[in-house]
Structure 1
Amino acid sequence: MLHQNLWYIENGNEVESITIEENKLEKLFVKNPDILDRSWLIIGEQVYTDAKKYIDLLCMEPDGDLVIVELKKDMTPREVTAQVLDYAASVSEYNYNDILNVYSKYVEKHPKAPKTLEEAYQKRFNNKFTLDDDTFKPNIKMVIVAAKMDKSTERIIGFLRDKCDVLINILFFNVYECNGKQLLGRTWFGDDIEERVLKSDNAKIWNGYAYVAYGCGGHRKWEDALKYGFISAGGGSWYSNTLKNLDVGEKIFAYIPQKGYVGYGIVTDTLEQAKDVTFDVNGESITFADFENGINYLYSSDDPEQAEYVVKVKWIHTVDESNAVREPGFFANQNSVCKPTVSVWNDTVNRLKQIWNINE
């Protein structure tokens, strides 16, 4: 069991630990979601489930994964563990429209919230929302919020995490009072279990083809990527960092969210910020600033965190956006780049090779 003590540095006195009602804590989370996690968007509060009970909070991460947040309240620790697993089973059946309905009910409770999930996502993560029926294939994560847990429950949670790779964790919150002001302390039971699961997935056989999501819109166009030979992402490190996973010589299939697959090519250069990239066009050096279509790839060029990043590609087969290939069951993902080891990715690659007559 984790226990945290705080001392006031000025006089060395121990800060007094106090209790806070769970409903007040829930309201605090809704008002200040960063207290829970900066990468979570709250999309539902008191969400009714098939279990005929209510999830305290339902959150979404930038890649579309869902996080069930359950406050322990007056239940025993073992009861809340069983309940959150039941909630996860129910949420795992949700489709894209179910999530939209969950958020619409959240807006009814909180009229000042953005009216649509797309707007809420844009405001929270500063990037365009590209989830749809194809890309909505979330992992379901579970977080139990508590001031403390008994040894038995921690042993159960540890077993589920370490032996079964279940995406479950405990978030300990303790409230302290000092000079008439309240302080909130947060401690995780363990590291992010998903990171360990993803690393273990790398042991599975990867087919050698990387998936790239190329989000078209106000900041970029597929026509540019075709003409000059590149893929790009930006607007936050969550979107651009995965581009680092591409090595020179790797083969990629490019996907435009909500449209379909548009290109197959080979990576020819390492990651660069857009402001530093040049293209050789008929012996002339061209930069993004020279593009004449009005698209500004150099937005936030002075902020490395928000800037656009580019990887050059030699395209082998491409189609324009209007002829994007999209079939039921195709692999799609919210990440800018990933190297899937799931069977649906193998099926997607084989089907695209067949459609585009790619022989290797």
Structure 2
Amino acid sequence: MALEMGLWRADGSKLERIEPTSIGLESQLETYIESDPTMLGTSLLLIGRQVPTAHGGYVDLLAVDETGTVHVLELKRDKTPRDVTAQALDYGSWVSTLSRGDIVAIWNSYKPHKPFEVAFAEAFGDAPPEDLNTSQVFTIVAATVDAATERIVRFLNEGYGIPINVVFFRHFEDGGNRYLARTWLVDHEMQPTKSGSSGKQVKSKEPWNGQDWYCSFGDDGTSRNWVDAATHGFVSAGGQSWYSRTLKNLPVGGRVFACIPGSGYVGVGTVTGTATRFDQLKIDTGDGPIFLASLPLLGNYTRPGDEDDEIAEWAVPIEWTHTVPKAKAVWQKGMFANQNSVAKLRQAFTIEQVSTAFNLDD
């Protein structure tokens, strides 16, 4: 049974039905959605319009949400029930094979003057997730569909859990004012389909160069201070094993991008030794090795119970290539940040921005 949307003008105790019009609506929907994708009821960043596929045909609209799920938006226009559903699934199967680099390339063709990471951060308030396009959602956009299309979509969605749905728009005019009404065929809070379910691995993450690491340096000015780290050459973390555990992943020879949460990137350097308890780490001051903890430090790197290695502060010696004061930290929307003390730095955008700011390529 086809869905029907009604709109009535309430004038006192009298109701007058406003009849929908469809003149030109389906030809305008693509433009409407592009101008404001929130009209679909979900926060989306459009990454492409009329995107050519590898097998012929064009995806009407392609978008991502804040989780990195890719949304395939296919407009019904004058397609038959079989064509519109088959096309959405066909395009979706192609999208599921796209790597992270493919997704970014589609964006670059669509909006070449703004980095994808910046646009994502502006849309959702954070950098893109490391995993991108691990799942997909398929949406048919229409003014009306016939019973056969509804039947097919319900069968796939409700019977087999395929995340395909129909969003309906109806156009109303009343007294010179124009309105769009929206409804969904089935509950649109669907579980997206996962890429790689057929056994094919999709590269959803940026490749790691095997060298660069992100390090979060929690400078609160009291227990830990960036001036100490920049002056004496180290990064540190501790208080719980959750914080110090990842610090121990830093390999000798690895390159570290130090970031102060809430401020930005403040240093880049090379790891010169393995993780050691802060109170046991010796550094070379030029006059021979000396315990780091014996130096005049602004931070207090001790805490109650730190005789336990899991609570103690741990440090890794770093030979800094470039550092800046906390007040001059480098940050831009879309840059990589992570809740772990140390993580592999895959995001080329962050590496490029920091390298440029620190003149590392010179």
TM-score, normalization: structure 2?
0.55
Q: Is the 8 A contact 2:49 2:62 kept in 1?
A: yes
Distance 1:98 1:3, change over 3 A: same
Q: How many residues align?
A: 230
Residue 164 of structure 1: aligned partner: 160
Residue 151 of structure 2: aligned partner: 155
Q: Structure 1 residue 281: deviation in Å? A: 4.4
Please give the alpha-carbon distance, in whole angstroms, between the structure 2 residues aligned to 1:196 and 1:49: 21
Confirm whether residue 140 of structure 1 aligns to residue 145 of structure 2. no
Structure 2 spans left out of the alignment, 5+ residues: 195-213, 221-235, 250-256, 258-301, 306-325, 329-338, 347-362
Q: Which entry has the higher C-alpha Rg, 1 or 2?
A: 2
Find the partner of 1:227 among 238, 251, 267. Answer: 238
SS state at 1:166 partner: coil
Please give the alpha-carbon distance, in whole angstroms, between the structure 2 residues aligned to 1:196 and 1:60: 12
Please give the alpha-carbon distance, in whole angstroms, between the structure 1 residues aligned to 2:179 and 2:38: 15
Residue 128 of structure 2: aligned partner: 129
Q: How does 1:101-116 map to 2 (within 5 A)?
A: 101-107=105-111, 115-116=114-115
* Paired-residue identity, %: 31
Q: How does 1:259-298 map to 2 (within 5 A)?
A: 281-282=303-304
Find the partner of 1:77 among 78, 81, 93. Answer: 81
Q: Structure 1 residue 184: deviation in Å? A: 0.4
For residues 332-359 of structure 1, the C-alpha deviation after alignment (integer angstroms, 9 at most, x for no partner) is xxxxxxxxxxxxxxxxxxxxxxxxxxxx
TM-score, normalization: structure 1?
0.55
- Following TM superposition, the consecutive aligned residue runs of length 4 or more in structure 1 with deviations greater than 6 angstroms are 222-225, 252-255
Q: Is the 8 A contact 1:43 1:103 kept in 2?
A: yes
Please give the alpha-carbon distance, in whole angstroms, between the structure 2 residues aligned to 1:192 and 1:167: 9
Q: Structure 1 residue 44: deviation in Å? A: 0.5
Q: Structure 1 residue 222: deviation in Å? A: 6.6
Find the partner of 2:90 among 86, 89, 94. Answer: 86
Residue 9 of structure 1: aligned partner: 10
SS state at 2:111 partner: helix
Q: Is the 8 A contact 2:68 2:128 kept in 1?
A: no
For residues 117-162 of structure 1, the C-alpha deviation after alignment (integer angstroms, 9 at most, x for no partner) is 111101110112243xxx2342111000112222222121111112
Q: Structure 1 residue 53: deviation in Å? A: 0.6
Give, as a single letter, the amino acid of the residue that structure 2 aligns with 1:14: R
Please give the alpha-carbon distance, in whole angstroms, between the structure 1 residues aligned to 2:81 and 2:7: 25
**Deviates most, 9-18 or 84-93:** 9-18
SS state at 1:75 partner: coil
Q: Is the 8 A contact 2:68 2:134 kept in 1?
A: yes
Please give the alpha-carbon distance, in whole angstroms, between the structure 1 residues aligned to 2:128 and 2:192: 27
Q: Is the 8 A contact 2:136 2:192 kept in 1?
A: no
Please give the alpha-carbon distance, in whole angstroms, between the structure 2 residues aligned to 1:294 and 1:189: 52
Please give the alpha-carbon distance, in whole angstroms, between the structure 2 residues aligned to 1:38 and 1:160: 21
Give, as a single letter, the amino acid of the residue that structure 2 aligns with 1:115: K
Q: Name the one with the larger helix percent.
A: 1
Please give the alpha-carbon distance, in whole angstroms, between the structure 1 residues aligned to 2:104 and 2:182: 30
Q: How does 1:180-259 map to 2 (within 5 A)?
A: 180-192=176-188, 194-195=190-191, 221=217, 226-229=237-240
SS state at 2:152 partner: helix
Distance 1:230 1:106, change over 3 A: farther
Give me the CA root mean square deviation.
3.9
Give, as a single letter, the amino acid of the residue that structure 1 aligns with 2:17: E
Please give the alpha-carbon distance, in whole angstroms, between the structure 1 residues aligned to 2:184 and 2:122: 26
Please give the alpha-carbon distance, in whole angstroms, between the structure 2 residues aligned to 1:53 and 1:196: 23
Q: Is the 8 A contact 1:40 1:60 kept in 2?
A: yes
Distance 1:81 1:28, change over 3 A: same
Q: How does 1:295-310 map to 2 (within 5 A)?
A: none
Residue 40 of structure 1: aligned partner: 44
Give, as a single letter, the amino acid of the residue that structure 2 aligns with 1:28: Y
Please give the alpha-carbon distance, in whole angstroms, between the structure 1 residues aligned to 2:102 and 2:192: 29
Give, as a single letter, the amino acid of the residue that structure 1 aligns with 2:145: M
Structure 1 spans left out of the alignment, 5+ residues: 109-113, 199-215, 233-251, 260-279, 284-292, 296-310, 312-317, 328-360
Distance 1:188 1:221, change over 3 A: farther
Distance 1:140 1:15, change over 3 A: same
